[in-house]
Chain A
């Protein structure tokens, strides 16, 4: 178990390290002097240029620059936002709750609706199964910004049930959730379709297993067989795929938050790219990748709990 954990942690550190190098290195990919890039064409006094060079340690060798940057990141200093004139750490902190709420809402929709659709399709072959297959086929092929447009035109503009884009964060959790319903749906739809497909095929796999027939042959009630043997056993692939989707949801917030004008990490990333606020871009990218690998680690650690055969160091006795 310890060896397994160590291996996973080592992989995690490797990914984060490489990402940090990429994130740090991209600034040097920009054509010309990094200072020109950092100033993005604004005129500056020689003193200001010198201050900027000093702040970014641009006169040191690259490795030293990277070291001091990484040291700052590790101690929570992600630099300053040129756009907001604010510490990036504080800026991220103020945007994180909005995104967390949106991702959580969407994840709930994906888990509940996606998994139910998959279960229904697997248990009711025929018309219902075909409908779910077609529905999920379209859902997985519909990008979130397209869903956003359709939802806004239908539910905000035509029916007026939900607020349209913009308007700032509503007061109170209930109003906030109401406001986030359309964005959460837009974010969730593609992943819902995918998870429904995964659930369906995992259920069908399990339904065909001999131990399921044996359970029926032993007089165990049909519902109990489905719950205890089919659903329980289909959980593995559903949790694995669902976990990686959580990371996908986080990345897709940049699109959905932009489409709905929701203040969060995703829309912050997009604005910062447009405003060439590089410190923020670096920070959000790094944070997303860390979240991505942490979710994957969590899924790996969950796997032996779901399938006891995967728990290391156990075999026939």
Chain B
């Protein structure tokens, strides 16, 4: 038994092992951008110079001035304030989507990999089925019944993202399960649940985390698209996707900022999430080598 115990690796120290502030300027910049984004979302009421929903029709489409750093929209609302507040809905929606889909996907993936047999067959086929229905379409369908707002898009996206996580987790959990140390624990009489929770999960967590970072960007994009279509966050609440929708008219009149400013925010956030996600996956791949 002592020989099998030596093959048990030291438990990886969770997220600390990811070396979040590793090499590469792009990675570091992206992490900084995301940190700033979170900070802005939390402190929006303090940072915003104006009430994001305060109408001032006399100041419609004012360009960049000392009073309005990024100008105003057609209803005279301060764009900077709306951007800052928009970070809240912009991050909250994807957070819910990624949180739910990661938890659900990990659970389904681990159960499928650990149980194998018919449980695996049923779970895998079900995930394949959901995978075949595009998330945007599912969200639109749900909105058509439930009505516009955050609820339907978030639920639909969470469901649609679950098989992405579930398939990934099932794959790596099967690999991990085949390693000798897992068998060593099982032979010692540990229950499957304990081995999964204390050893399997911590070992696959970094990969799942990297995938979730990438999913966060995609979810942000999808939810913004739904808001742009008028199905997500409803006016007058400040939201980047909805702001672009409202700014379309201004673009035709030659005023770019009402639509371009939130556009830039979305692209920046998605790029940053993408770089962080890819960077983490890269690091994990290199460490596995």
Question: Which residues of B in the span 210-259 have a Cβ within 8 Å of any Cβ on A?
Answer: 217, 221, 224-225, 228-231, 241, 244-245, 247-248, 251-252, 254, 256, 259
A234 touches B (CB below 8 Å): no
B266 touches A (CB below 8 Å): yes
When the two chains form their complex, are residues B141 and A26 in contact, meaning their CB atoms are under 8 A apart?
yes
Contact partner of B132 (CB less than 8 A), chosen from A137, A152, A252, A289, is A289
Q: Which residues from B are CB-within-8-Å of A201?
A: none
A144 to B143, CA, bound (A): 20
When the two chains form their complex, are residues B267 and A288 in contact, meaning their CB atoms are under 8 A apart?
no
A236-252 contact mask (Cβ, 8 Å, vs B): 1 or 0: 00000000000110011
A270 to B227, CA, bound (A): 12
How many A-B residue pairs have C-beta atoms within 8 angstroms? Tell me: 126
A145-B225, A149-B248 are known contacts. Are A138 and B271 too (CB-CB below 8 A)?
Answer: yes
A195 touches B (CB below 8 Å): no
Interface of B is mostly: helix
A23-B141, A150-B260, A259-B248 are known contacts. Are A254 and B136 too (CB-CB below 8 A)?
Answer: yes
When the two chains form their complex, are residues A149 and B260 in contact, meaning their CB atoms are under 8 A apart?
yes
A164 touches B (CB below 8 Å): yes
Contact partner of A157 (CB less than 8 A), chosen from B244, B252, B267, is B252
A259 to B136, CA, bound (A): 16
When the two chains form their complex, are residues A37 and B271 in contact, meaning their CB atoms are under 8 A apart?
no
A27 to B146, CA, bound (A): 9
Interface stretch (choices A51-59, A117-125, A272-280): A272-280
Give B249 Cβ to nearest chain A Cβ, in Å. Answer: 10
B144 touches A (CB below 8 Å): yes
Question: Which residues of B in the span 157-213 have a Cβ within 8 Å of any Cβ on A?
Answer: none
We find that the number of chain A residues with CB closer than 8 angstroms to chain B is 51
Interface stretch (choices A14-22, A103-111, A208-216, A298-306): A14-22
Contact partner of B256 (CB less than 8 A), chosen from A18, A19, A153, A252, is A153
Residue ranges of A at the interface with B (Cβ–Cβ < 8 Å):
11, 14-15, 18-19, 22-23, 26-27, 29-30, 37, 137-138, 140-146, 149-150, 152-153, 156-157, 164-165, 247-248, 251-252, 254-255, 258-259, 269-270, 272-274, 276, 278, 281, 285, 288-289, 292-293, 296
A-B contact pairs, 18 of them (CB 8 A): A22-B141, A26-B145, A141-B271, A141-B274, A142-B267, A146-B244, A146-B263, A146-B267, A149-B248, A152-B252, A165-B252, A255-B228, A274-B230, A278-B145, A281-B140, A281-B141, A288-B137, A292-B133
